[in-house]
Structure 1
Amino acid sequence: MGAGASTGAERPAGPDAGGRRRSAFGRLLRYGFTDPAEAARLLAAPELAPHRDNTVLLDGLGGAADPDQALRGLLRLMEAQRLCGGEDGGQRLLDTVLAAKPLRDRLLGVLGASEALADHLVTHATDWQSLVTWETADLHPGVEEFEAALEGADTPDALRVAYRRALLGIAARDVCGTSDLARTAAELADLATATLRAALAIAEAAAPEDAAACRLTVIGMGKCGGRELNYVSDVDVIFVAELPQGAPEDADEPGALRAATRLAAHLVRICADTTAEGTIWPVDANLRPEGRNGPLVRTLASHLAYYQRWAKTWEFQALLKARFVAGDAELGRAYCEAVSPLVWQASERDNFVTDVQQMRRRVIAGIPAAHVERELKLGPGGLRDVEFAVQLLQLVHGRSDPELRSPTTLEALRALAAGGYVGRRDAADLDAAYRFLRTVEHHIQLHRMRRTHLMPEDDAALRRLGRVLGFRAEPVTELHQAWKRHAAAVRRLHEKLFYRPLLDAVAQLAPGETRLRTQAARERLEALGYADPAGALRHLEALASGVSRKSAIQRTLLPVLLGWFADSADPDAGLLGFRQVSDALGKTPWYLRLLRDEGAAAENLARVLSAGRLAPDLLMRAPEAVALLGSAEELAPRGREALTQEVLAAVGRADTAEQAVAAARGVRRRELFRTAAADIIGAYGTEDSPAHVDPAPAVDRVGRAVSDLNAATVAGALRAATRARWGDTLPTRFAVIGMGRFGGLEQGYGSDADVVFVHEPREGVGEREAAEAALAVAGEMRRLLQLPTTDPPLLIDADLRPEGKSGPLVRSLASYEAYYRRWSLAWESQALLRAEPVAGDAELGRRFVALIDPLRYPEGGPSAEAVREIRRLKARMESERLPRGADPTTHAKLGRGGLSDVEWTVQLIQLRHAHEVPDLRTTRTRDALAAARAADLLDGDDADVLDEAWLLATRVRNAVMLVRGRPGDTFPSEPRELAAVGRYLGYEPGHVGELLEDYRRTTRRARAVVERLFYEDEERAGA
């Protein structure tokens, strides 16, 4: 018979075979196989063919996290058995597996969960037998059992093999569900303890003379110390050594330390080295005093001296988990007993609050941007959030409550709940989230025994992970849903954990609820940076007590708000401000709804209230301005035209000049708050907008916004002064010319309004009548703007007019022309560089500008004598106007490399070159700098140095006004105010020293440029 006959005979059977195949594939899919064709092929292999329909085998494979992987692993293991145990070795293994359900669940569970452990079983063909035992004692082994399992492993490679064999049992119990997360983590830590002891024994056997020369103890830290270790993790340790007991007084202590160091280093190598048998884990000793820069081994006395004098708060936080694990037990216990009191006194340290804030930010800053969405450990709502929160509460309350001193996260969380420091429901939710996240982390690591905290991206890995966690219907979808739910719970509870019990301490609670003791509440508030915890508790009581809807909403808002207040330089001010605003607006329906429903509004309010005095003071006088905080659009500055229209309309509705200027001030108050709030929020940043990306746009935006606002206010005062006597039309045209920073659109929050007044008689009006009207209106404007007010004042300064204070307050345009033609001095030409009309008659303003342009942009530049005069004036100003006792290295306006230095240098360039370089004809300092660079009049590096110094000095002045509520050119001396200035400028708490160093360095560099460009030789100046 030929091939054709054979093919023809098979054709009728085709559809039936296809149906059977589809039926078989469907069955395999139901068992959880994702590649039924490949699974069917493997099941048809000679080793398994007799059992391919065996439901016992299929049930066992289907119970694994990854049935496909478990099947491949089983075949590999059977082949290894055949190679080492004869032709029937694989069959004996299979028969044993099929006959014993405990072994079947364990072995197939491990094969389906971990490729790395499958590789180990294939390489070490008899180690599968370690999974046969199913005794009660085997379910929960401790250090002694693991030591017995490692007994006889007297070489590094033997220890590596024995370690993996012991790890098999832990993983088997884990994947089979006979051990929960806490038990698994404890077993991993106990196995690590036994392994460290075995490694130390190997090291001592290799160098008995070193072992005899010292006493060495190994202190477990981190997750090892807390008995909550991962499958793959560095094992954190600290080494302590002493002379042998009974050593003579003149014994060689340095020699003992050298011997101990050799033993410790050998132990580290045994555990961390990689050979053909793999590796165990890295031993990390960087938690020791001075970290990697300090000696690997110290005496107990040396450790204590360091901790008592130099240690930072995070080091005591780390010591919270210190536990003896290997070596000299007596010395280990002595170390733990000695450092324990230091741990529980840490919250009394002067710098505890600052250190805590830095630790919190370190948690956030440690998130790699590319991995933030996948991070189980460092990401928002991750494991680090839980661990940090629990440890901080332990440090705060553990000093007075020994029940809280467990080094294990979940045990400490239970103790915090039992003691009333954390709500029981919150603790239960956090416990569940922590267990879920750690379980996910464990099984991600278990697959290939690699250290990672990233959620996998491929579907096969996610499916395996979902199945091992018990999600069988839609493993990937259910896994992601559970992860997001638990991460969100952690994010929510991270705030509640700290702050909800504070509210419970003061609110009216239902019978049976836990109440945080008053003293404990004060301790917690102190730890969070509140200088007056008793006052803070009173504010909380006023806000959150009672059963009203208002109180209920406040209890919802306050846990988050308190966290934002604590993140500021002055939490007390933030909380006080919030109470005052709430008292003013609490009965307004939209207020609490805005904070509750608009996510940005509450955070923005917290930032504004705790950043200093200016913005809260403005808000207290206009609480309805809270509505501006709801969105970025509301906080955007309004233009000069819109502001002027609003101010003039308000002035027009007023009955008297005083009422008119009060109305103008009301607009200015609201808009000043808008500008300050946007500035503060931008400086702090939010969850949606990172802080301190580029300060330059913020400085320019504030300068323009404040200048526009002041121009509108001056226009309102001019209208008010005019209407009081002349109605809508003065007998003379009248214009206000902005000078200095006003004309340059560079005003800060506390800037005066430098101006000159110009007028021109209307047709038919005599010179005298026009002059008298102009003088009267200018005087009335100044009077109105100087009326007593609680708002930041806007002072009119006209000292830059011709002849200064001794000259007439107002001149006609013709008078200016005559004066400038005959008498103008060099400093006046320089001052006119920043002249720009800001209010009044626009056409007259333009004509004034046309008049002064030849003076400020002179053809051929200033004379050599004019340059010398400008230099003399600058030198005199430096020596005479700097306040007595002021530090010239930190005075933002007149100090070295400050605003005056930069501005006079730029203005000298403008005087020399603006006639030929039109782009230099600007009133704005930074625009002129950019134009000088573009025209190659200034080296690019020099321009950058000057620009950086000008921006920094401007920001310092703005920060001082925001923080203190009054103008200032120097850094505050009061620590909280200085810290607040630092926060605005982007410096974390505790780093104000760096702020001052950076300021001095920046301005020193600028001064060097100024001395080269401004105080150059006269020959070049006149060239």
Structure 2
Amino acid sequence: MQGGRRDSRYGQLIRRGFTEPAAAEGLLATPGLEEVRADTGLLDAFAATADPDLALRGLVRLVESQEDPQRLVDTLLASKPLRDRLLGVLGVSEALGDHLAGHPDDWQALVTFEAADLHPGVEEFEAAVGAAGDPDELRHRYRRTLLSVAARDVCGTSDLARTAAELADLATATLRAALAVARAESPQDAAACRLAVIGMGKCGGRELNYVSDVDVIFVAEPVEGTEESAALQAAGRLAARLMRICSDTTAEGTIWPVDANLRPEGRNGPLVRTLYSHLAYLNRWAKTWEFQALLKARPVAGDPALGEAYVEAVAPMVWQVAERENFVPDVQQMRRRVVAAIPAAQVERELKLGPGGLRDVEFAVQLLQLVHGRSDATLRSPTTLAALDALAVGGYVGRRDAAELESAYRFLRTMEHRIQLHKMRRTHLMPEAEEDQRRLGRSLGYRSEPVTELHKAWRRHAAAVRRLHEKLFYRPLLDAVAQLEVGEARLSPRAARQRLEALGYADPAGALRHLEALASGVSRKSAIQRTLLPVLLGWFADSSDPDAGLLGFRKVSDALGNTPWYLRLLRDEGAAAENLARVLSAGRFAPDLLLRAPEAVALLGDEHGLLPRSREALTQEVLAAVGRAEDAESAVAAARGVRRRELFRTAAGDLIGAYGTEELPAEEPSQAVDRIGTALTDINSATVAGALRAAVRSQWGDELPTRFAVIGMGRFGGQELNYGSDADVLFVHEAREGVSEEEANKAAFAVATELRRLLQLPTTDPPLVIDADLRPEGKSGPLVRSLDSYATYYRRWASAWESQALLRAAPVAGDADLGRRFTRLIDPLRYPADGLSDESLREIRRLKARMEAERMPRGADSTTHAKMGRGGLADVEWTVQLFQLRHGASVPELRTTRTRTALAAAREAGLIGEEDAAVLDEAWLLATRMRNAVMLVRGRAGDTFPSEARELGAVGRYLGYESAGPGPRAAEAGGSGEMLDDYRRVTRRARSVAERLFYEG
């Protein structure tokens, strides 16, 4: 029977949300709580809390701390408001329960329940904390006052916005009280200056968290008769004391840290400045993020007139910041840095900084405020929710979008508040323990399955934030050119141009025309493009040339828009749309290829579509296409078509690998360089093979009277081609049985000449220039030689430079067996058994010095020329080739045509130190990537950094300098300057190593 009654009591406790009924039963038996145990209404009050077990433990501790426990129990039984408030706080916050246990009388702060208590402001809070005579008393009064704020919050008598405002007002009152204490401690300093405290961040915006740094800026002026330096010293001491009063931890705990790092020059700058000094810094040195932060500036303590003067003076600067050339890229870069700084293990738990978190809402709202607040003063609220409402009223954000974003923001901020309340610690991570998640879910009203319901709601709101963060800045632009659904934002053409200009579009009027062409109308094509464009515009704006991206998208859509699979691909395959946006806005090379064959866009939606194809597969396809052609010209056009598609595949994969996307993280540069060099070599080898087959078929049918092979030289043979590289080759032949040498020579010359003619036919495709100048005797020698002729020449006449050039010789097309025999023929020449003679060494050194003097373009900057400049490709390659000539016979691993492979072999063999090898490798990779970047960006080859700002910014983005953004002054942006400095530093070190090894080693 007794067991049955116990089970019945346990059941009642479980139904009320207790997870440990036995422990709860024991606690309810504590002396003094007999009436609580018997009161059904009081037990129901526990059921309404976030954690009934925690609330009961807190109540027991509080009762045990009382001198008169019965008074507390009687008041609880008699007052439902106190019951709800006290148990609500105890059930959500272990830290506030600790405070109540340590301050037994503070529960009485929750008894009052009058109209004024429901809507306190700074004056009421000042009355509560301002009478503190010392720092410890202030800390106690602050925490006691915080009890009431938390009680109103958890009981629902104060919503999120009101709670955040109360916390900010309490912080304001506390700063004022702390300053009063500091002044009282040092009346001489107080008399020497006027000091104003400017609230920043969430404090300034009246949207503070329970536990947060309180960001401030200090402004001071001397009083009459005091020197400025003395006044600033006095103000500095007062400011520092105020910060310590709030930040120090004592037996009474701490209030919160006061953070002044938003001041000019951050922690490296003076703590206090005059108004003039602040303005001078802002006018001359301030970065975009500093003006964005000042959007929330508000006087909170100290001299009110000085505080207002500061805010009035900086406001015009804040609302002009969107006119800066790199405004949006600066803001976006700051957001990217915040996300990148999140530890990987915490990304999935981040409520604030992660994708779909609070910072996404705040950044998007602030971005819109700063762009449109220039001409619309109604948008200038420092409070996120108020600003979002104003953006909706003004038509800058659709009302439904604004409502959805507000709902998500309120949910996420409330989650953050509840998490912080538990231990009164600054955090915005979802707790990992299930019991903590259960308490959090119940505090938000989820009772049946708290953890499951909590995660479901969190995922829904985070997804909404991510979608709307991308949408709300770009979607309203379409309203300027197309009729959208009822409820969408209605931007005027002027506001749309203003927004596009801020996004980095150099021609906003032209951009609007493109949008009109894409989004107007009622066709299915227009409807899908209206869905795609908001996200695409965001990706374009994140590039160095948004105009080019949008124009390219219009051209591709004009070419393919009526093709059923095209828009379906972009709509349904998330990676395809982002990949297309990245490719179209990254430069000229890839878009030009795509616009000549728009169907290649299908490669962007295939998981494996951007991976290079093997040389064998490419050659097979090209030869099959050539075989179907009616004549040689048609055949080479078919081969070029395959080459065009494969160049696009390689370039698109390179760009997406360099920038990275959500689905494809950025690729390791060294791997990318090797992959691209191999891919371009294979593409050109297959193209040459196709042109060779076409040349043979045009005169001799399927078989030439002589065997014929094409030997790749230079970068072609080394599998290190750049996008703009020529194809250096040698032509070798060997007469077939029964064919005279004269006939074979004549046929070989004819086919080589025809091959070159076919590949030089006018075309809009990137040219494939066949250069045979590395043949024996150069331009003066025969275009084609037989294998025996090569053997005779090399035996009698070969010079050191020819041995060096042959280090990179490798068969690329034609008769494979003949190619292998040519390789065996030249191996003794390029890997001499006795190493390199002193005479040959001197010749090579003289040749390099002469080349540097004669082949550097006039006016070129030797510190940034990728090929011939200081520490560039020539320095590294000639140094590595010297090792190959000297030691290739004895070190088999050096017998490779690839520079980096040979360098690694030299390092493994102990011929070069680890550090020296790393320096040369880094310089070679950087110079190679720069050349690739220039071709991708400009559409034509180059060995130097572009001088045009947008192009320089795009090269910087490719090389990983994301802050090198768009705009006429991009070259002045930190990313471009840093890129050039890094390039010079890396190549300067490589030059030092190369000179030591090449000339002295």
Deviates more, 1:357-366 or 1:132-141: 357-366
Residue in 2 that maps onto 1:959: 933
Instruction: State the Cα distance separating 1:20 from its structure 2 match.
Output: 1.8
Looking at structure 2, the residues matched to 509 and 200 of structure 1 have their Cα atoms a distance apart, in angstroms, of 54
Looking at structure 1, the residues matched to 262 and 928 of structure 2 have their Cα atoms a distance apart, in angstroms, of 42
Instruction: State the Cα distance separating 1:504 from its structure 2 match.
Output: 2.2
Aligned counterparts, 1:10-409, within 5 A:
16-81=1-66, 85=67, 89-244=68-223, 247-248=224-225, 251-409=226-384
CA pair 366-933 structure 1, distance change in 2 beyond 3 A: closer
1:461 to 2:436 alignment: yes
AA of the residue aligned to 1:902: V
Residue in 2 that maps onto 1:544: 519
Looking at structure 2, the residues matched to 453 and 50 of structure 1 have their Cα atoms a distance apart, in angstroms, of 39
Number of residue pairs matched by the alignment? 991
Percent of aligned pairs with the same amino acid: 79
**1:363/1:385 contact within 8 Å kept:** no
Residue in 1 that maps onto 2:949: 975
Residue in 2 that maps onto 1:445: 420
1:844 to 2:823 alignment: no
AA of the residue aligned to 2:505: Y
1:820 to 2:820 alignment: no
AA of the residue aligned to 1:488: A
Looking at structure 1, the residues matched to 489 and 359 of structure 2 have their Cα atoms a distance apart, in angstroms, of 26
**2:215/2:259 contact within 8 Å kept:** yes
1:559 to 2:534 alignment: yes
TM-score scaled by structure 1?
Answer: 0.96
**Which of 533, 539, 550 is residue 575 of structure 1 equivalent to?**
550
Q: Deviations over 1:298-336 (max 9, x none)?
A: 111111111111111111111100111111111111111
**2:419/2:430 contact within 8 Å kept:** yes
**2:400/2:488 contact within 8 Å kept:** no
1:1004 to 2:978 alignment: no
Looking at structure 2, the residues matched to 531 and 754 of structure 1 have their Cα atoms a distance apart, in angstroms, of 41
Please report the RMSD computed on the Cα atoms of aligned residues, expressed in angstroms. 1.1
Instruction: State the Cα distance separating 1:512 from its structure 2 match.
Output: 7.0
Instruction: State the Cα distance separating 1:846 from its structure 2 match.
Output: 1.2
Residue in 2 that maps onto 1:490: 465
Instruction: State the Cα distance separating 1:511 from its structure 2 match.
Output: 6.3
AA of the residue aligned to 2:826: I
Residue in 1 that maps onto 2:968: none
Q: Deviations over 1:398-449 (max 9, x none)?
A: 0100000000000000000000011111110000000000000001111111
SS in 1 for 2:38: coil
**2:808/2:896 contact within 8 Å kept:** yes
Residue in 1 that maps onto 2:763: 789
Looking at structure 2, the residues matched to 219 and 510 of structure 1 have their Cα atoms a distance apart, in angstroms, of 43
SS in 2 for 1:60: helix
Q: Deviations over 1:735-794 (max 9, x none)?
A: 111101111111111111100101111111111111111111101111110011010000
**1:363/1:384 contact within 8 Å kept:** no
Looking at structure 2, the residues matched to 885 and 514 of structure 1 have their Cα atoms a distance apart, in angstroms, of 53
SS in 2 for 1:747: coil
Residue in 2 that maps onto 1:873: 847
Deviates more, 1:741-750 or 1:358-367: 358-367
Instruction: State the Cα distance separating 1:51 from its structure 2 match.
Output: 3.5
AA of the residue aligned to 1:697: Q
AA of the residue aligned to 1:628: L
Residue in 2 that maps onto 1:420: 395
1:910 to 2:895 alignment: no
1:800 to 2:774 alignment: yes
Q: Deviations over 1:213-250 (max 9, x none)?
A: 11111111100000000000010111111112xx14xx
**2:326/2:504 contact within 8 Å kept:** no
Uncovered stretches (5+) of structure 2, i.e. residues with no partner: 965-972
Looking at structure 1, the residues matched to 526 and 8 of structure 2 have their Cα atoms a distance apart, in angstroms, of 64
Looking at structure 2, the residues matched to 210 and 970 of structure 1 have their Cα atoms a distance apart, in angstroms, of 59
Residue in 2 that maps onto 1:5: none
AA of the residue aligned to 1:313: T
Aligned counterparts, 1:681-720, within 5 A:
681-692=656-667, 694-720=668-694
Looking at structure 2, the residues matched to 77 and 821 of structure 1 have their Cα atoms a distance apart, in angstroms, of 102
Instruction: State the Cα distance separating 1:201 from its structure 2 match.
Output: 0.6
Q: Deviations over 1:53-75 (max 9, x none)?
A: 32111011111111111111111
Looking at structure 2, the residues matched to 360 and 122 of structure 1 have their Cα atoms a distance apart, in angstroms, of 43
Looking at structure 1, the residues matched to 130 and 396 of structure 2 have their Cα atoms a distance apart, in angstroms, of 44
Uncovered stretches (5+) of structure 1, i.e. residues with no partner: 1-15
TM-score scaled by structure 2?
Answer: 0.98
Residue in 2 that maps onto 1:586: 561
Looking at structure 2, the residues matched to 731 and 60 of structure 1 have their Cα atoms a distance apart, in angstroms, of 101
SS in 1 for 2:785: strand
CA pair 1010-732 structure 1, distance change in 2 beyond 3 A: same
AA of the residue aligned to 1:209: Q
Q: Deviations over 1:141-172 (max 9, x none)?
A: 00000111124211111111111111011000
Looking at structure 2, the residues matched to 574 and 669 of structure 1 have their Cα atoms a distance apart, in angstroms, of 20
Aligned counterparts, 1:846-861, within 5 A:
846-861=820-835
SS in 2 for 1:1014: helix
**Which of 872, 880, 884 is residue 898 of structure 1 equivalent to?**
872
SS in 2 for 1:219: strand
Q: Deviations over 1:14-61 (max 9, x none)?
A: xx2222222211111111111111111111222222441321110111
Looking at structure 1, the residues matched to 125 and 639 of structure 2 have their Cα atoms a distance apart, in angstroms, of 81
Instruction: State the Cα distance separating 1:353 from its structure 2 match.
Output: 3.5
AA of the residue aligned to 1:236: D
**2:399/2:488 contact within 8 Å kept:** no
Looking at structure 2, the residues matched to 371 and 849 of structure 1 have their Cα atoms a distance apart, in angstroms, of 56
AA of the residue aligned to 1:320: L
Looking at structure 2, the residues matched to 285 and 609 of structure 1 have their Cα atoms a distance apart, in angstroms, of 43
Looking at structure 2, the residues matched to 801 and 588 of structure 1 have their Cα atoms a distance apart, in angstroms, of 49
AA of the residue aligned to 1:448: K
**Which of 460, 480, 496 is residue 505 of structure 1 equivalent to?**
480
SS in 1 for 2:999: coil
Instruction: State the Cα distance separating 1:631 from its structure 2 match.
Output: 3.1
AA of the residue aligned to 2:977: G
**Which of 819, 823, 832 is residue 806 of structure 2 equivalent to?**
832
Q: Deviations over 1:840-891 (max 9, x none)?
A: 1111111111111111111111211111111111111100011100111111
CA pair 1011-510 structure 1, distance change in 2 beyond 3 A: closer
SS in 2 for 1:590: helix
1:473 to 2:448 alignment: yes
Q: Deviations over 1:490-533 (max 9, x none)?
A: 00000111111111221123567541011111111111111111
SS in 1 for 2:813: strand
AA of the residue aligned to 1:149: A
**1:366/1:378 contact within 8 Å kept:** no
**2:193/2:220 contact within 8 Å kept:** yes
Looking at structure 2, the residues matched to 752 and 782 of structure 1 have their Cα atoms a distance apart, in angstroms, of 12
Looking at structure 2, the residues matched to 864 and 353 of structure 1 have their Cα atoms a distance apart, in angstroms, of 60
CA pair 636-510 structure 1, distance change in 2 beyond 3 A: closer
